[in-house]
């Protein structure tokens, strides 16, 4: 289990993580969803003991990561965002080195190396130097090195960045298998679809703060059954607000999430039935609409609703 309580970490004046609290349970995939720079990697760094928190506590399997650093790290598996591999040596040599770093030796190390290489589909390339591998293969090996010692807690920091779709599907299956065998998985990503399809529970993070947390169902509940209408073109934000206010006065629960010169985003129930009224109001306000997108409620809608912006890469 991972327990994070009131975690705070700053780099000078920049507060990277601000009073973040959450718990991830065994057998569960807990996703940390947020844009780049939101503070996800800093949280992973604090859990893995690489970074020392300024305030708050982090416990892994009930051991404080600062007070009992070596012990807590023994049960951790880390799959970093970078391809943390030695490219000049072979996949097997990489795995044996990282397995050995977690105390595996002899027959157990050899057996686990073979098992995990087979699981990630690299058993036929194990003796070749890593530098000859494709990006997807390196990602899978990166994952393999993080799980070779059967960790009880697995930290995955954006493990699918830059991966081809086939390797991504395979990697996500591997992550599910880890959770199935009882590992507590913390998974950071900025891919909505990954978070939706993979995670049992999610924490939405932005500017170092956890702005929403719960299962997908709980988050949808927070969002309500609203559609998201995204219009791009040329707008006068003040006149748009006024015109829409009059046109949608009877609708009740509508919200102008984002209002800029070239983009407006509306959150409202049953948007499709109100499109004509909305376009009329925009035309009256002198706006020029070039593109319209209507989105059913999903994580992206939630993120936009919570942060007022899209989840950018």
**Structural Rg of the chain based on CA atoms:** 23
| Least gap, CB of 63 to another protein (angstroms) | 11
194 within 8 A of 172, measured Cβ to Cβ? yes
Burial class (CB in 10 A: 0-12, 13-18, 19+), 269: middle
DSSP secondary structure string for all residues of 149-203:
T--SEEEEESTTTT--HHHHHHHHHHHHHHHHTT-EEEEEES-HHHHHHH-SEEE
Does residue 49 belong to the site contacting another protein (CB under 8 A)?
A: yes
Contacts with another protein: how many residues (CB under 8 A)? 31
158 within 8 A of 143, measured Cβ to Cβ? no
Does residue 185 belong to the site contacting another protein (CB under 8 A)?
A: no
Nearer to another protein by Cβ, of 159 and 297: the residue is 159
Nearer to another protein by Cβ, of 41 and 267: the residue is 41
Q: Residue from 84, 192, 256, 306 that binds another protein (CB under 8 A)?
A: 84
Q: Residue from 82, 107, 124, 313 that binds another protein (CB under 8 A)?
A: 82
Q: Residue from 21, 81, 110, 251 that binds another protein (CB under 8 A)?
A: 81
Interface mask (CB under 8 A) for another protein, residues 59-78, using x and -? -----------xx-xx-x-x
Give the interface segment with another protein, choosing from 44-52, 231-239, 258-266, 302-310 (CB under 8 A).
Answer: 44-52
| Least gap, CB of 73 to another protein (angstroms) | 4
| Least gap, CB of 85 to another protein (angstroms) | 7
Q: Residue from 67, 101, 253, 294 that binds another protein (CB under 8 A)?
A: 101
Q: Residue from 87, 238, 246, 260 that binds another protein (CB under 8 A)?
A: 87
121 within 8 A of 174, measured Cβ to Cβ? no
Does residue 93 belong to the site contacting another protein (CB under 8 A)?
A: yes
DSSP assignment letter at 302? H
Q: Quick count: other Cβ atoms within 10 Å of Cβ 243?
A: 20
Crossing angle of the two packed helices 135-147 and 91-101, in degrees rounded to 10: 30
Q: Please, which of residues 121-180 interact with another protein by CB under 8 A?
A: 129, 145
DSSP secondary structure string for all residues of 52-95:
--SEEEEEETTEETTTTHHHHHHTEEEE-SS----TTSBHHHHH
| Least gap, CB of 230 to another protein (angstroms) | 37
Give the interface segment with another protein, choosing from 87-95, 264-272, 282-290, 300-308 (CB under 8 A).
Answer: 87-95
Place of tokens 């990954």: 194
Cα distance between residue 64 and residue 116, in whole Å:
29
Q: Give residues in contact with another protein (CB under 8 A).
A: 45, 48-51, 70-71, 73-74, 76, 78, 80-89, 93, 97-98, 100-103, 105, 129, 145
């Amino acid at each position: 289990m991972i327990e994070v309580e009131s975690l705070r970490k700053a780099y000078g004046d920049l507060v990277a993580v601000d009073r973040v609290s959450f718990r991830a349970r065994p057998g569960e995939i807990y996703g940390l969803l947020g844009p780049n720079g939101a503070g996800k990697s800093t949280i992973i760094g604090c859990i893995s003991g690489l970074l020392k928190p300024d305030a708050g506590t982090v416990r892994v399997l009930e051991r404080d990561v600062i007070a009992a650093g070596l012990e807590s790290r023994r049960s951790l598996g880390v799959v970093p965002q970078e391809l943390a591999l030695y490219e000049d040596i072979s996949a097997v040599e990489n795995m044996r080195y990282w397995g050995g770093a977690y105390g595996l030796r002899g027959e157990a190390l050899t057996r686990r190396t073979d098992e995990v290489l087979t699981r990630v589909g690299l058993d036929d390339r194990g003796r070749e130097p890593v530098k000859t591998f494709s990006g997807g293969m390196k990602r899978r090996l990166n994952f393999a090195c993080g799980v070779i010692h059967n960790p009880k807690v697995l930290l995955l920091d954006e493990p699918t960045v830059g991966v081809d779709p086939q390797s991504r599907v395979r990697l996500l299956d591997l992550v599910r298998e880890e959770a199935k065998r009882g590992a507590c998985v913390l998974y950071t990503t900025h891919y909505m679809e990954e978070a939706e399809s993979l995670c049992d529970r999610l924490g939405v993070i932005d500017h170092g703060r956890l702005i929403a947390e719960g299962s997908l169902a709980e988050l949808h509940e927070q969002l309500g059954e609203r559609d998201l209408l995204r219009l791009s073109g040329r707008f006068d934000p003040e006149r748009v607000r006024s015109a829409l206010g009059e046109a949608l006065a009877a609708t009740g629960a509508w919200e102008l999430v984002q209002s800029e010169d070239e983009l407006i985003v509306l959150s409202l129930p049953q948007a499709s039935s109100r499109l004509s009224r909305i376009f009329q109001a925009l035309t009256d306000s002198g706006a020029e609409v070039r593109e319209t997108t209507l989105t059913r409620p999903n994580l992206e809608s939630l993120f936009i609703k919570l942060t007022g912006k899209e989840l950018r890469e």
